[in-house]
Structure 1
């Protein structure tokens, strides 16, 4: 159960679940920890933090409350408080990171030095918020206005890169560097004319030529400062495509680094799901479906890992489950707002099953979904027919003559 406590009332043995204050003001890199020393309490009281959210179930000693009241009601109240705390934390992270990136862009635009040290704090703050509630933070990142797009897009791509890197199981330091790469990837746009950058209609060939210069401009800006090489790489190569049709150098396949291939995916996904002067925002599912259909644009294996990291997949995509079954991604349907899988095939027995549903929100997609297979490799020569039956809500394991007719 969670409880908000003013810093003047904190005591030894309390377990801090979240710090209720600007992340730049709080004195700890960690957001969750047990208060074990008077020095920690003194640091919190000297800071600009007004309160902390403590987890009563993880407090120890005299700080642990006696059990009382209805357990079920307490759990419900705890869940509500936890969601509220997560929402507050996600909102604060997005707002603070956006404002900080605005100051970075403004400083670079005026010729100032790029300071990467404080940006490590932004990445750590994002990482903590992802650990606390991934879906809430990723959802918050989509709520950007046209006026704040330039700064918020960098924050969103940085967040997606951290989330992506964690899904790939990269080491903590690599995760941090990927986050920095996302934050810096579009810094070169500060040298692109605003009328080109925010043009509501199609760009002319001359304007496209100018726009396509921003990776090299950004790389030159970052090269003049003490910026990690991964951030330089993402900035310079996030518009390369695996088939060689990207820019600025037309790199092909593995000639494009892992970081740049990740950056390309995160950049396009956030761009598609954002409202701009010249277009509306696509839904996450529509964006992912479009990206999956672009032959030669992305590393397809990486794109699938990215889908797992954001828990969004194209409708109709087959997936292989750790349970030894094949399933297909379905739309939300009329009766539910939750994305779902329809499980339909037993791999070991090589037979169609009466289909049943799994909701993505009820499973750990990272652990449960292994890959997206070719159904032909599992003997489903009639996959097109099976897919259509599943999309229509029919059971492909029974004969057509016994199947109810569509209305």
Structure 2
């Protein structure tokens, strides 16, 4: 389904509206959003002619029309090359392309900055966990500073862009799970209009929500195949052990409730106490959603993990009675129908992977585009907010991709999210 269709070379003079063309030049050297597209106007034909190419590759199977018939030329005199004079429409295309390039540069810079911040946060969380019992007060203080930094970023931006991170940026799974849950929970809490103090407690609770697992043998915590009933019962004790540790560290009641209750479900099917909605902390009810989502996307055995789209669909179809309904519905809207990491097909047939979702425009995410004419290291990222002619028409499973598309898009074995905290730091500087 992803194999490249047969193409033919067509002289530029024979181009017409409805042809699906491929521009075999750098994306930076033309004014179009993509290197491959269907011609929709005479202005686009004029812009292609001004590229100086003699022939253009065309996909007949994707085209609505056939090329124009060849035009007879006078044998006794060659026509001079016309001077390139851009029409207002072509100048508008060029201006749009310049804006696209600027957005692409910004998107890449944002992702690079996010990766730096994520690595810094992961190292901080690693040190916090390592020193938690030898220097407990210092560790809690460092966690508080980390959460405050994330909170500052969250409160500065009206709309928070959640970026999909490289799955190799952090080596220790437990640290980026805690960060994932913290990032997603704090974003959701902001959208639910929680006060800053509650969002801060949520962040602290998420950072330590699995701290009780240090009392569970690693062979059980990291087991990649089914647990026995006894092992499952022992693993579920991590909530109780975590509550005891939280009380020793003098964490806030809100954070402690999160640690104790993040596996409780509003229908009473959770653990360790099978609490129902009215007895579960409002903060813990939020964390139950984001923790379940990340656990579905990042199972101990990556082969068992669901794609973000599958995880969201599964939670809504099979688990929605277990979660706070308004919070779950808002979480789905915030993450979008196509969460970061989802493989998608666009309305023009282009394949890509969602790399960032804007909480204010969840149906118009940023998509990394598969284009074999563009080196993988320079892959185009299209922000659908600024491309109204393009829409997502469907989502795909990674297994549906051809080997070359899979290698290019590199679907993440593990999903890791973060938002940019640098913007908040810059705005605080005098």
Per the normalisation by structure 2, the TM-score is: 0.54
Identify if the C-alpha distance between structure 1 residues 206 and 361 changes in structure 2 by more than 3 Å, giving closer, same or farther.
closer
Matching residue of 2:277: 253
Matching residue of 2:360: 364
Q: After TM superposition, give the deviation of residue 272 of structure 1 in Å.
A: 1.1
Take 1:226 and 1:299, find their aligned partners in 2: how far apart are those partners? 28
Matching residue of 2:208: 184
Take 2:202 and 2:103, find their aligned partners in 1: how far apart are those partners? 32
Matching residue of 1:219: 243
Deviations 1:297-323 (CA, angstroms, capped at 9, x unpaired): 212221111112222369xxxxxxxxx
Matched, 1:266 2:290: yes
State how many pairs are aligned.
Answer: 265
Matched, 1:311 2:339: no
Greater mean deviation of Cα atoms: 254-263 or 129-138: 129-138
Identify if the C-alpha distance between structure 1 residues 241 and 363 changes in structure 2 by more than 3 Å, giving closer, same or farther.
closer
Matched, 1:157 2:153: no
Identify if the C-alpha distance between structure 1 residues 279 and 128 changes in structure 2 by more than 3 Å, giving closer, same or farther.
farther
RMSD: 3.6
Q: Which protein has greater RCO, CA pairs closer than 8 Å, 6+ apart?
A: 2
> What SS does structure 1 have at the residue aligned with 2:164?
helix
Deviations 1:232-290 (CA, angstroms, capped at 9, x unpaired): 01100001011112111111122212111111111111111115237433111100111
| Residues 181 and 231 in structure 1, CA contact (< 8 A), matched pair in contact too | yes
Q: After TM superposition, give the deviation of residue 159 of structure 1 in Å.
A: 0.7
1:276-287 equivalences under 5 Å are: 276-277=300-301, 279-287=303-311
Instruction: For structure 1, list consecutive stretches of 5 or more residues without a partner in the other structure.
Output: 1-69, 315-329, 341-359, 369-390, 393-407
Take 1:118 and 1:301, find their aligned partners in 2: how far apart are those partners? 33
Q: After TM superposition, give the deviation of residue 231 of structure 1 in Å.
A: 0.9
Task: Select 1:228's aligned residue among 247, 252, 257.
Answer: 252
Deviations 1:307-352 (CA, angstroms, capped at 9, x unpaired): 12222369xxxxxxxxxxxxxxx98678255899xxxxxxxxxxxx
Matching residue of 1:102: 126
Matching residue of 1:294: 319
Take 2:351 and 2:97, find their aligned partners in 1: how far apart are those partners? 26
Take 2:296 and 2:351, find their aligned partners in 1: how far apart are those partners? 22
Give the number of the structure whose alpha-carbon radius of gyration is greater: 2
Instruction: For structure 2, list consecutive stretches of 5 or more residues without a partner in the other structure.
Output: 1-93, 365-392, 395-430
Q: After TM superposition, give the deviation of residue 127 of structure 1 in Å.
A: 3.9
Deviations 1:22-53 (CA, angstroms, capped at 9, x unpaired): xxxxxxxxxxxxxxxxxxxxxxxxxxxxxxxx
Take 1:362 and 1:261, find their aligned partners in 2: how far apart are those partners? 23
Q: After TM superposition, give the deviation of residue 74 of structure 1 in Å.
A: 6.4
| Residues 273 and 283 in structure 1, CA contact (< 8 A), matched pair in contact too | yes
Per the normalisation by structure 1, the TM-score is: 0.57
| Residues 242 and 260 in structure 2, CA contact (< 8 A), matched pair in contact too | yes
Identify if the C-alpha distance between structure 1 residues 217 and 362 changes in structure 2 by more than 3 Å, giving closer, same or farther.
closer
| Residues 332 and 339 in structure 1, CA contact (< 8 A), matched pair in contact too | no
1:39-58 equivalences under 5 Å are: none
Greater mean deviation of Cα atoms: 205-214 or 167-176: 167-176
Take 2:360 and 2:350, find their aligned partners in 1: how far apart are those partners? 19
Take 2:97 and 2:253, find their aligned partners in 1: how far apart are those partners? 52
Identify if the C-alpha distance between structure 1 residues 277 and 361 changes in structure 2 by more than 3 Å, giving closer, same or farther.
closer
Take 2:227 and 2:247, find their aligned partners in 1: how far apart are those partners? 29
| Residues 240 and 249 in structure 1, CA contact (< 8 A), matched pair in contact too | yes
Q: After TM superposition, give the deviation of residue 157 of structure 1 in Å.
A: 0.6
> What SS does structure 1 have at the residue aligned with 2:264?
coil
Identify if the C-alpha distance between structure 1 residues 144 and 244 changes in structure 2 by more than 3 Å, giving closer, same or farther.
farther
Identify if the C-alpha distance between structure 1 residues 287 and 253 changes in structure 2 by more than 3 Å, giving closer, same or farther.
same
| Residues 285 and 323 in structure 2, CA contact (< 8 A), matched pair in contact too | yes
Matching residue of 2:384: none
Q: After TM superposition, give the deviation of residue 364 of structure 1 in Å.
A: 3.2
Take 2:170 and 2:235, find their aligned partners in 1: how far apart are those partners? 18
